[in-house]
Amino acid sequence: MSQSVDAALKTLCSDPTCCRERLLHTAGIIYAERGYDAASTRELTKAAGVNLAAIAYYFGGKDGLQAAVIDHVVEECRERTWAVFEHLDRSIDEAHGDKEALATATALFAESFLRAALPVNRETWWVTILTRAMGSLPEPEAPLYETVFLPAHKILRRLVTAATGETDPDRQGIVTEALVGDFLTFCKNYSVVLRSLGWDDFSDPHIDQIVAVVARRMQARLGLPQIPLAERSAKLAAE
């Protein structure tokens, strides 16, 4: 465990000698794999290669470390995936109800999100914590609802309304949740997916296949034309 964590820290930490960074990412990796209560402060500091007193010194205790981990997940979402949702939001406005444009925007969203958020190794521990929170939302992860989930759901609900014309709030919400399931399935269930498909990892060709299937599924759920992103891009270039 500690050796593989140490290997990940060399990539994750801007300064691999920084005790605070090492603790933050070590806790994130272990929490993602085993949960908040699965590791003692002694185990965390040993895996991080820092002094036992470092958690109290840098975070004020284990609760403070957990809070810092969630803050980091929020920041990663803002840097890596929020621009994807903002682009979708703009594309909905620019489509003016055009089904082909909305289909393209949906395919681009699926591709951009999955390439940013598929958990490809321990270095993407923030994805595991994020997707796990969608299933149970334990108290330490509660801030993720207001800062990540709710804003994203509002944009997806706009897509549902623009594509389907649905006005009933309950139906809008149900379709929105179904869309979320379409593009998050491979993030939440990646271990089972890899084993069932006989894949060792999410390589680029594997991700291409996932994107194609998810994009078509989302377009179909919204009653949109089945327009692959590459085909739409070619049409725009020809025009």
Which domains are assigned to the chain?
2-69 (1.10.10.60), 81-238 (1.10.357.10)
pLDDT (0 to 100) of residue 118:
87
pLDDT one-digit tens code per residue, 81-122: 999 999 999 999 999 999 999 999 999 999 999 998 888 777
Average pLDDT over all residues of the chain: 88
Q: What is the DSSP string of 77-93?
A: HHHHTHHHHHHHHHHHH
| pTM, 2 dp | 0.83
pLDDT one-digit tens code per residue, 30-83: 988 888 888 899 999 999 999 999 999 999 999 999 999 999 999 999 988 999
Distance CA 44, CA 37 (A): 11
Per-residue pLDDT, averaged over 208-215, amounts to 93
Phi (first) and psi of residue 79, to 5 degrees:
-80, -35
Distance CA 167, CA 203 (A): 40
